[in-house]
Chain A
Amino acid sequence: MSPSQISRRTALGAGVLAFAAPLTGAAAQFNGGGLFWAANTSTYPTAVDLKASYQFLTGDEAAFVEAAALRMIPADPTGPSALEAGVPLFLDRQLAGDYGKGTRLYMQGPFAKGTATQGYQAKWPPAGFHRAAIKAIGDHLAQGGGATFHKRDEADQDAFLKDLSDGKVDLGGDVDGKAYFKLLLQNVMEGYFADPIYGGNRNLSAWKMIGFSGARYDQRAYVLSYGKPYPLPPVGIGGRPAWSVKG
């Protein structure tokens, strides 16, 4: 619950709050009123519109992300590819929002590369890191005189991603290629396996592939069914396709 919601709640919940800061009305003081509650203050996630176009990724960036994600989770009969699951749209919306902006990250300098155990030390939040790294990868491949990433064949793409993950690609400047690979792979996995409300895991397809039950509320009946398949299809926060009204 953000401070702005607190302000709103203060107005809504005057009956149970004691006020300490009349200047702003944004009091957050509780005394003797029991558990504070006010109607309509919960924050349900907003569903990504699956028909909308990219908001953050430019054309070149989208081409790279789509191609790289497809190598990370390729198409085959086992289950959805990253593209079929909607991973690029998921990533676009994440980068356009608070995650991409790094609103919860500590982004004060000075910046330094750090040791292998000191974690994320990029000078950009995730959106900026993706942007800088995709540009650096494009420049790196162009310097070598070869085709741009998404126009290469699959074996070439795999080899480049493998080198990137092994720290064998020097992208120059402040872009740590190995750190970027980790970020990209993490984001692709997030899009593949996150609740479909965020734009990936389309039609719960990745959950169906592995057998995850999803946002099930009550699984008591299945604790002791040793060795038996779980009989229900997965369900997301927003329900599942079969619950939608057709027409």
Chain B
Amino acid sequence: MAIRNPPVDAVLVGFGWTGAIMAQELTDAGLNVLAIERGDWRDTPTDFSPAYAQDELRYYWRHELFQRLNHDTLTIRNKASETALPMRQLGSFLLGSGVGGAGVHWNGQVWRFLPTDLKAKSHNLQRYGKAAVPDDMTIQDFGVSYDDLEAGYDKFEYLCGVSGKAGNLRGAIQAGGDPFEGPRQREYPNPPLQMPYAPTLFGQAAAGLGRHPFPHPAANASRAYTNPLGVTLGPCTYCGFCEKYACGNYSKASAQTTILPVLMRKKSFTLRTNCEVLKINLSADGKTATGVTFIDETGQEVEQPAEMVVLSAYILHNVRLLLLSGIGKPYDPATGEGIVGKNYAYQITSSVNVFFNDKILNPFVGAGALGMIINDFNGDNFDHTGLGFIGGGYVGILQTGARPIETHPTATGVPTWGLAWKKAIARDYLKTTTIATHGAVMAHRGNCLDLDPTYKDTFGRPLLRMTFDYTDNEHKMSDYLTDRAAEIGKAMGGREIKANYRKGSWDVVPYQTTHNTGGAIMGESPRDSFTNKYLQSWDVPNLFVLGSTAFPQNPGYNPTGTVAALAYHAADAIKSQYLKAPHQPMVRA
């Protein structure tokens, strides 16, 4: 017999970035909010203290901050004709777990999508015609505009204390910033981080080729900063342990370093950790969420009634919970019908190593989003006529720390072990840098999420099954970006370059990005989307689904800035509109 808890105004499932943002906003609006997190409570002084946070083995390779796959993983395959097998070990993406979620071990790369990214289908059709969007490329417009999201982008950048240089202030292009970005209402809250040697060489070479380099916007504080909630971050010390690690220095923005010091004091907010939500409960007619059922930290089943249910877990968990709860029609790639699980997308990356003979670059002096970037080949910032693909990505050098188990690039012809390897690595480690490309993945009819028929989690529930591969669009686009990166690499004047094109099928082993998207996408109509522009379910209007779950396809930027902007956009609508008429759709179907 399940325990039945007293009702709350809103229950949040998952407590990372979006959960913390929504909890802060809804408690400000006077609501009584409960957040349920399946992982542990985590905070700087005890879980990633600077006394031992800089530990490559423990945190990256032994996955201390990541999801425990023994508890729950997903199954993976490249195409429907294959049998999906469990992702037994983390690799391509690093799922988060615990308070702060994946936002604890992110790099702090904060981007805004391009205005045209949010209209990917209509924009590309209009500019390039029907042939540019083949039938199997199931891209859609987001149903929300850049102007709708600008306030949310701005709010998140000021929450995090992003260090950067504006490129477009209210329509006026600014020297030193990204001239391709959408207009922003004001400058970044902090100036760019100091730029090390290798990214500086990249910027010089790129400018020499007529590109438009600028410092990557970074949620790594370039100076002490107190955010609008009154929470202070410390200046980044360039220790080189951001990406895949937690910051011991209160310099990288996370829920812990920006929101929780305020939120955790509120009596109207309760957090329960080590509790796992099993399903969302519905009314008999299926049109109202009545709350959730979860297993508490003692193993007891608990029914939690709520006026509003917000899914704020990672995208893969949000989608799985919808499927396990029987909400929405599951997507069927054979017929193209159904919504939940549709348009799963990812990111496509490649790199170009640049080896110098004479330049000591000290690559270990780093920070997560420290680098120089060009967006000349992102989105539709360039003419795609005749290229055979749409979309793009950024190209740049991010000097994130070169921890040596992970980062020891070898020149062409050098083996991966043995004496020749050893001599090469001793010669090259300090004098090598890597240009990264970070490209979009368009939605494709066959790329989707559903429940696995065979494999189960510790509670006996089916694992999520991911069917995903790159298409011609991604490979052509990524090769194009890699060629552009190689041009800049050559112009940097090193001894040699080595271009690492992304070849073949998506591979779960090498780390790429934790930028999984889609599965419960937003849009303009319930015919082809799960939520409206406020991330409100069309079918169940008191259910909101946050995160990159909503992206109809994945543009060439890191997702977190847009994930946060969408959460603020939803929170504003809930406060100004929804709470005046609860349980009602905010957009007419």
B55 and A195 within 8 A (CB): yes
Set of chain A residues within 8 Å of B423, measured between Cβ atoms: 76, 78
A230 near B362: Cβ-Cβ < 8 Å: yes
Known A30-B41, A220-B237: A212·B402 in contact at CB below 8 Å: yes
Per the 8 Å Cβ criterion, residues 161-180 of B in contact with A are none
**Is residue B278 within 8 Å, beta carbon to beta carbon, of the partner chain?**
no
Does A11 touch B at the CB level, under 8 Å? no
User: CB of B78 within 8 A of chain A?
Assistant: yes
* CB of B418 closer than 8 Å to a CB of A: yes
Interface of B is mostly: loop
How many of chain B's residues touch chain A, expressed as a range?
Answer: 35 or more
Given the interface pairs A104-B70, A106-B87, the reply to whether A190 lies near B238 with Cβ below 8 Å is no
Given A21-B297, A106-B70, A207-B404, CB of A219 within 8 Å of CB of B238: yes
Q: Does B197 contact A (CB under 8 A)?
A: yes
Whether A6 pairs with B429 at a CB distance below 8 angstroms is no
Give the complex CA separation of A222 and B41 in angstroms: 35
Q: Which residue of B lies closest to A211 (CB)?
A: B430
Interface-located stretch among A34-42, A56-64, A141-149: A34-42
Residues of B contacting A195 in the complex (Cβ-Cβ under 8 angstroms): 55-57
Q: Could you say which residues of chain A place their CB within 8 Å of the CB of B300?
A: 21
Interface string of A169-197 (1 = CB under 8 A from B): 00000000000000001001110011100
Interface string of A11-38 (1 = CB under 8 A from B): 0000000101101101111111111111
Interchain CA distance A194-B59 in the complex, whole Å: 11
Given contacts A78-B426, A104-B69, A223-B365, contact A35 B88 (CB under 8 A): no
Interface residues of A (CB under 8 A from B): 1-3, 6, 18, 20-21, 23-24, 26-38, 41-45, 71-74, 76, 78-79, 98-99, 102-108, 110, 112, 114-121, 158, 161, 185, 188-190, 193-195, 198, 206-207, 209-220, 222-230, 237
Chosen A-B contacts, 27 in total, with CB atoms closer than 8 Å, are A1-B42, A6-B297, A26-B297, A28-B272, A28-B275, A34-B264, A34-B265, A35-B43, A36-B43, A37-B45, A42-B49, A45-B52, A73-B421, A106-B87, A110-B454, A112-B83, A115-B82, A119-B89, A211-B362, A212-B364, A213-B362, A218-B237, A219-B364, A220-B235, A222-B238, A225-B362, A237-B55
| Contact in complex: B88, A185 (CB < 8 Å) | no
Contact A227 B405 (CB under 8 A): no
With A32-B269, A71-B418, A117-B78 known, 4 other A-B pairs at CB within 8 A are A21-B298, A42-B45, A105-B70, A227-B359
CB distance B40 to A217 under 8 Å? no
Given the complex of chains A and B, what is the CA–CA distance between A44 and B272 in angstroms?
Answer: 26
CA distance A11 to B265 in the complex (A): 20
Chain B residues near A33 (CB-CB < 8 A): 264-265
Contacts of A223 in B (CB 8 A): 194-196, 238, 365
Chain A residues with CB under 8 A of B77 = 115, 118
CB neighbours of A21 from chain B (8 A): 296-298, 300
